């Protein structure tokens, strides 16, 4: 069986307005994640940081029971946020978004809460994989406003569900993993200022995940960088597996060749 892995790149920036970067992210062979923390006095940084720390526990292996395992990680993150608030009551209300993609051998398991996003590029198609937990998304769902109107709505930063001390369920979804699919995860610092068309063309034009992530962050900064911006790009790739013996053989031959030269020199003297 083929072993899949993410081929990834990631970039983050504090932006041009904020003093602190309260976004956190993870980019690894099995797991990609973005968390956008909110809360005064650096509390957002704590909320997103502990959440990514919990997610990191899953980063080295494929999922077994993805929804259960991701659910446990979300609850562990919530416990740590609760503990941090108990320790420092001023940070009451600290919260974070979480969007994570866990790559299995034939699946991509998605955990999502808040208004960070995941997009997928597959052949001709470019789609937003996650649905924002936001007030304007709710208005779009109700048919009250169009997606275009949502982009410039005064309440577009109002989030209806986040990971915080109070329980609010996360969304889970499983998709089939397909070699060559490209995914992009980002905080709203990108999508508030760069539209989907511009995002799609960067993801098509930049072959290297790292270059694509760097370019998307650059575009957000070019648009004024009003918020922290984080981008993680991952391509579904095959793990390169080299059998050990050719390397061992090559190393042995090299050692013997060097030894032969030395012996040759010694005999000549």
Site residues (CB under 5 A) for Mn ion? 36, 187-189, 227
State the minimum distance, in angstroms, from the CB of residue 217 to Mn ion: 13
Contact status, residue 48 vs residue 35, Cβ threshold 8 Å: yes
Q: What are phi and psi of 220, to 5 degrees?
A: -65, -40
* Closer to Mn ion by Cβ: residue 219 or 236: 219
* Closer to Mn ion by Cβ: residue 31 or 162: 162
* Closer to Mn ion by Cβ: residue 13 or 109: 13
State the minimum distance, in angstroms, from the CB of residue 48 to Mn ion: 10
State the minimum distance, in angstroms, from the CB of residue 230 to Mn ion: 8
What secondary structure does DSSP assign to 125-190, as a single string?
Answer: EEEE-S---BHHHHHHHTTSS-HHHHHT-TTTT-BS--EESS--PPEEEEEE--TT-EEEEE-HHH
State the minimum distance, in angstroms, from the CB of residue 138 to Mn ion: 19
Q: Nearest to residue 263, comparing CAs of 247, 252, 255, 251? A: 255
* Closer to Mn ion by Cβ: residue 24 or 120: 24
Query: The tokens of 78 are what?
Result: 């919530």
Is residue 61 helix, strand or coil?
Answer: coil
State the minimum distance, in angstroms, from the CB of residue 12 to Mn ion: 11
B/e letters for 105-115, b = 16+ CB within 10 Å, e = fewer, are eebbbbbbbbb
* Closer to Mn ion by Cβ: residue 38 or 66: 38
């Amino acid at each position: 069986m083929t072993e899949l892995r993410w081929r990834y790149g990631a970039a983050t920036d504090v932006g041009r307005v904020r003093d602190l970067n309260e976004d956190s992210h993870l980019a690894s062979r099995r797991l990609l994640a973005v968390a956008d923390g909110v809360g005064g006095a650096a509390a957002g940084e704590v909320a997103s940081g502990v959440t990514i720390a919990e997610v990191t526990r899953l980063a080295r292996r494929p999922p077994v029971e993805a929804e259960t395992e991701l659910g446990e990680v979300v609850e562990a993150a919530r416990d740590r946020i609760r503990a941090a608030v108990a320790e420092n009551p001023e940070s009451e209300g600290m919260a974070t978004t979480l969007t994570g993609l866990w790559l299995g051998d034939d699946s991509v398991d998605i955990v999502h809460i808040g208004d960070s996003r995941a997009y997928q590029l597959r052949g001709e198609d470019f789609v937003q994989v996650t649905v924002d937990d936001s007030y304007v998304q709710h208005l779009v769902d109700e048919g009250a406003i169009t997606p275009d109107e949502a982009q410039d709505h005064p309440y577009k930063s109002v989030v209806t569900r986040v990971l915080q001390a109070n329980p609010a369920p996360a969304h889970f979804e499983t998709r089939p993993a397909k070699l060559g699919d490209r995914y992009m995860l980002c905080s709203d610092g990108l999508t508030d200022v760069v539209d989907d068309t511009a995002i799609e063309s960067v993801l098509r034009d930049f072959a290297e995940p790292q270059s694509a992530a760097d370019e998307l962050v650059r575009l957000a900064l070019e648009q004024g960088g009003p918020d922290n911006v984080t981008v993680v790009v991952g391509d579904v790739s095959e793990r390169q597996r080299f059998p050990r013996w050719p390397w061992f053989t090559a190393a042995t031959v090299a050692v013997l060749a060097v030894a032969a030269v030395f012996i040759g020199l010694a005999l000549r003297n």
